[in-house]
Each structure stands twice: as C-alpha cells, then as structure tokens.
Structure 1
Amino acid sequence: MIDSLTLDQLRILIAVADEGSFSGAARRLGRVQSAISQAVQTLENTLGLALFDRSAKKPVLTQAGRSILMDARQVVARTDTLRAHAGSIAGGCEPELTLSVDPLFPQPVLIESLKALSLAFPYMPVKLLTEGLGGPEQSLRDGHVLFAIYALLATGSRDLNVEKLIDVEMFPVVAADHPMAQAPEPVSQEVVEAHTQLVLMDRTPLTQNMRGNIFSTHVWRFADIATRLDYLLAGFGWCHMPAWLVNGHIAAGRLKRLRLAQSNGARIAMYVVRQHGRHLGPVSQWLIGDLRKRLGE
C-alpha cells in the first residue's frame, strides 16, 4: 500500500501544515478544497495513520502527523535537489565537480571561490582533495578528479595540459624563540645543518627522486602542511612555507622569516592541470575563472 504514496500527496500535506487549513492549502496550490481534503485522506489511508485532528475548527497535526511532516519535507527537498541536479546535467554541466589542490595554493582564495560557486550552482556536488607534492597529479592520472592545481616542479611531468594560475611566494621561517631566530644573518650553512628541518614527504611514487630544498642534516618529515605548521610554531625546527600561510604569524611575533646563506626564498608557479583530450565542463571553467579574478585582485 505504501507504494501508492505520491509526491503530490506529500506536497499537499506540507501545504496544509504551513497554511493551517485545507482552504489555505487549496489557495496556495491552486486546487479546490475538496481535492486537498481527499488527497490528505488518501495519504492517511495509505500510511494507516491519522495525520490531522479534525475535531477543532482548523485541522491540527497529530503527533504522528508532525513526525511524518518532517519526513515529507526531507523527501520533497531531496526530490527537488535531484530534479535540479538532473536539469543542470541535461543543460551541459558536469555531474560532479572534482578537483585536487596542493595546500600551498592560497586556501582563503579557494574558499571564497567555492562559496561563490555554491551560490551560482547550489545543487552541484563537489569533491575537493587537498594533497601535496605528487598527490594532485596522481589523482589526476588515476581519474579521480577532472583537474588539479599544483606546482609542476614537484613531478616534472611534460605530458599534461597546463595553464599557469599563480606564483606562490615561499621563504624560510622558524619559531621566534628558536635558536636560529637569534643567529646572525644570513644564517650560515653550518648553523642550518645543525638544526632540524621540517620537510613534507610524498606518499606517491611521482616524486621519489626529488630531494627538494633540504639543507639540514637533521630532518623531520610530515605528511601534511597543517601538521608541519603546528610543529614549526612549537619550535621543533625550521622550513620553507608559503607567505600567505605564515605572514600573520610573523606579524604576531610567533614566527620569524629567515635569510639563509643558501636560500632566501622562491616563487613557485602553480598551474591548472588536466589530461590532454579531457575538456572541462562549464562549472569547472567557472571556478577557474573566478579563481583567476580573485587572484588578480
């Protein structure tokens, strides 16, 4: 019997509850009152429950009715989302926006762009992977994402379609109370080698031969940049970090920018990368365009 339940009946239930009367629901839905009353009666018979107490002048939801009403709202909302999502796909949009982004990319900019995207495409599902070093390219090659944003310097690959997006400023930093913070600058190679360098490690085979900017003989390795930042602030060692991530800590006196004899920093080019022959849909293109606009500002 439950299979005969219809979305129209659920919408009528919601309308009666919202309007407080069968006549109000009839006006809202453009139906005659008798059709509304019959639909509610049919729904009650289908569920085997009394949804409204009709003993008063206006119908009042029963306890069962209030519970079913919450379920009805969820079902109708999910159905509306499904219809909108299907409509966007039929209109040419990708079924899902999937991307991998190196955490060196300015996350505040990405967050603002994705906020704007959620307003422009409210029913678009998003899968966002934040992976460092070879992670974005591995996800791209494995087909897990439509495109990736990362530094080609990490893998050196030349068989992909790339478009430059931004240069990210990187420079060496250390906790303000670390011994290196008091060393004469430029900090000599001997001093650098005597202290621990905090290094990101790659869990893919794409960068196994990349030594990176490792100058110290003592190295601690981390799988993600957020954890490395925590240990940097705690004074475990020094490392190169993106300016956008540490400038606030420098201004607050928690970190100090270092000038090393071997390195005073660099600018790392980050690219939008996709596989050749893989064309991006309108939502992906919209996001990339919005990122470019915000980065330009």
Structure 2
Amino acid sequence: MLDGLTLDQMRVFVAVANSGSFRAGAGKVARVQSAVSHAIANLEAELGIALFDRSGHRPVLTPEGRALLANARDILLRVDAMRARARGLGEGVEPELSLVIDTLFPLEQVGAALTEMRAEYPSVAIRLSIEPLGGPVAGLLEQRCQLAVTVGEDFRDPRLELRALSAVPVVTVVAAGHPLARQAEGRTLAISDLADHLQIVLTDPTPLSEGRDFGVISPQTCRVNTQETKLALIRAGLGWGRLPLWEVERHLAEKQLVRLASHALGRSGLLVSESYLAHRIDAPLGPAARAFAQSLMQLSGPRSP
C-alpha cells in the first residue's frame, strides 16, 4: 500500500533530482539537509525501492528513480493546477490583463476578443506585447503575461496548457521587381535558386531557440527583430522571406508582392501552422482572462490559403 506517500516527499524528491544533491535540494525546499535525507528515506521505504544511489560523492538517480521522477513531476503539476484553479475561483476581477501574442497570429482577432472582454470588464487595463518564435512561451515561463498565443510546434513546456485556436497559413513572398519574381514565373524554384538571394529572417528574442534556425535556407541572411521590418525590407526588394498570409494578402492582390513556389517551402510555397492559446497551469486565470480566452476561441477559425 502507498497510503503513506505525501506531496511533501514528492516535492523533496523532485528538488533533489533537479539540483543534483541533498544539500542543494534542501536549499530549494527551505529545509535542513538532514530533514531532506529523512524525507527521501521515508519515500523509498513507502515505495519499496531505492530512488538514489548514494555510493558516490553525489546521489545519482537509480533506474527506478528516473522512471518514477516523471510520475512525481506530473502529480505535482496537477496539484499545482488544482490549487491555481481554486485560487482563481475565489479571486475577484484582475486589475490588468497581460498578453504576449505570436507575431504570426492575426492581431485583428486579438483586438476583437479584447473588445468583447472590455465590454464585460471595463475596469481591466491591458498590456499587450507582440513577439516572434519563443517570445510567447518565454513570456509565460518568465511570468511576464497571463496568456499567450503561440504558433507552430517548436516551443512546448509541460508547465503550460495549450488549446488549439486556428490554422495560420504562411507564404513565401518577394517584391514584384525582384529578380526571383521573374525567375518564378511559370516554374517551381529549386533551393539553389533561393540560396542565390538574400533571405529576410526574424530573430528570436529569447534563448529558447539558441543554436537553431527555423526555415532558413539561404546562406545570405538579413536578420531583423520585428515582422514589420521584415515586410518593409521585402517590399523594398532587398530579399525574400516568409510572412503570414493575412499580413500580405493586400500586397499580393495589388501585385506589389509575388508568391514563390518551391518544394523546399511547402506546397506552392505555403506552410500551414497551428496556433495555440497558452497559460501556465500553476497560475490562476481571473475573470477577465477567462472572458478573453473564451472570446478568442470563438472568434478564431480556420482560414483558407
């Protein structure tokens, strides 16, 4: 029987495993080292297995300890989520709603959802940041925002709950007067064609993508920090790049920009990514945040490329 297991024991177990020593783990849970050792020993006795090999200078997780660590983390996350939900149910309206939105997501939908939220909660102030790549996820992990919208599958964290919103089509474009536009007439471009020209690329303001590039094909790059800058440089003819369809539809219709087709860029130069509404499972959402989330879920829908 495992009735003697406690959440405190599990928190101590996870703290020691994360920090790599009983002393460091004791510091994380604000206990003396002897109390931490005692808690781990009691947990091992309840489970009937050794969680750590103590024969070396530092305790090392046993194979059984590694297997059960994932279970302990999952249990603690669920308990934290339950506590957060209970706190949220007992709290009043929050004074401010803070959001970080992926630069690929249509801002009009966010604006419409905020308008509906403000109609119900007019006293709530709004703090909105538009960030690319890992920015929305980092905003939640760093507790800079209550809700975030992220696009794509590259950034995930078990501390976050995600709900799918809608598809976001991203197309590859170039200015109508650019040499690639003439090359692309009636043909599908090869990677070598694209690599011969400058690619305009967004940089990640966070360390979450350190050492990785996303969708970079050309060895010639111009890296910028905002989507508006990227669009402006592409329209000026400096190079080619990928942009959300909602942002370039008018420029394509007015023939200022041209779509590029290449098998390396998705069919017809189009890539469809899923967008997600995200929040920390250990942080309660107030009434205004819940109202905004509900409105955005209802307003967001699949868009045809």
- Normalised by the length of structure 2, the TM-score is 0.65
Letter in 1 for 2:249: N
Aligned 1:15-30 pairs, distance under 5 A = none
Q: Which residue of 1 aligns with 2:229?
A: 227
Letter in 2 for 1:270: S
CA distance in 2, matches of 1:282, 1:229: 37
Q: Which residue of 2 aligns with 1:279?
A: 284
Quote how far apart the aligned CAs of 1:178 are. Answer: 0.7
Q: What is the letter of the counterpart of residue 210 of structure 2?
A: Q
One of 217, 220, 245 as aligned partner of 1:218: 220
Taking the aligned partners of 2:172 and 2:287, their CA distance within structure 1 comes to 39
Instruction: Note if 1:243 corresponds to 2:245.
Output: yes
1:282 positional shift: 1.7
Deviations 1:178-200 (A, max 9, x none): 11111142112221010010000
| SS of residue paired to 1:153 | coil
Q: Which has the larger radius of gyration?
A: 1
Q: Does 1:110 align with 2:115?
A: no
What one-letter code is carried by the residue in structure 2 that aligns with 1:241? L
| Residue of structure 2 in register with 1:186 after alignment | 188
- Aligned to 1:130, the other structure's residue is in SS state strand
Partner of 1:76: none
Q: Separation in 1 of the partners of 2:91 and 2:134?
A: 34
In structure 1, what is the equivalent of residue 257 of structure 2?
A: 255
Q: Normalising by the residue count of structure 1, what TM-score does the alignment of the two structures yield?
A: 0.66
Q: CA deviation at 1:91?
A: 7.2
How many pairs does the alignment contain? Answer: 209
Cα distance in 2 for residues equivalent to 1:195 and 1:261: 17
Identity of aligned residues (%): 29
Q: Distance in 2 between matches of 1:247 and 1:128?
A: 24
DSSP-derived class of the 2:263 partner: coil
Deviations 1:209-261 (A, max 9, x none): 32111111110001010111111110111111101000111001111111013
Are the equivalent residues in 2 in contact too, given 1:199–1:220 (CA < 8 A)?
A: yes
Aligned residues of 2:137 and 2:156 also touching (Cα < 8 A)? no
Residue in structure 2 matching 1:200, options 188, 199, 202? 202
Describe the superposition over 1:160-184 as per-residue Cα deviations: whole angstroms up to 9, x where unpaired: 2111111100110111111111114
Residue 119 of structure 1: CA displacement? 2.5
1: distance between equivalents of 2:146 and 2:285? 7
What displacement does 1:138 show? 1.4
AA partner of residue 301 (structure 2): G
2:173 is the alignment partner of 1:168: no
Structural mapping, 1:138-153, within 5 Å: 138-151=138-151, 153=153
Specify the alignment match of 1:38 in structure 2.
Answer: none
- Counterpart residue number, 1:84: none
Identify if the C-alpha distance between structure 1 residues 238 and 137 changes in structure 2 by more than 3 Å, giving closer, same or farther. Answer: same
How much has 1:128 moved relative to structure 2?
Answer: 0.9
CA distances 1:91-132 after superposition (whole Å, capped 9, x unpaired)? 722221111111211011112222233332211111111111
Query: Deviation digits for residues 25-49 of structure 1, max 9, x if unmatched?
Result: xxxxxxxxxxxxxxxxxxxxxxxxx
Other structure's SS at 1:100 match? strand
Which ranges in structure 2 are unaligned for 5 or more consecutive residues? 1-88
8 Å CA contact 1:101–1:148 kept in 2: the answer is yes
Once superposed, what is the RMSD of the aligned Cα atoms? Answer: 1.9
Are the counterparts in 2 of residues 168 and 268 from structure 1 also a CA contact under 8 Å? Answer: yes
Contact 1:154 1:210 in 2 (8 A): no
Change (3 A) 1:157 1:135: same
Change beyond 3 A, Cα 1:122–1:159: closer
Partner Cα separation in structure 1 for residue 206 and residue 222 of structure 2: 18
How far apart are the structure 1 equivalents of 2:288 and 2:152? Answer: 24
Letter of the 1:266 counterpart: L
Instruction: For 1:30-109, list aligned pairs within 5 A.
Output: 92-109=92-109
Deviation beyond 3 Å, 4+ runs, structure 1: 156-159
- Could you tell me which residue of structure 2 aligns to residue 296 of structure 1? 301
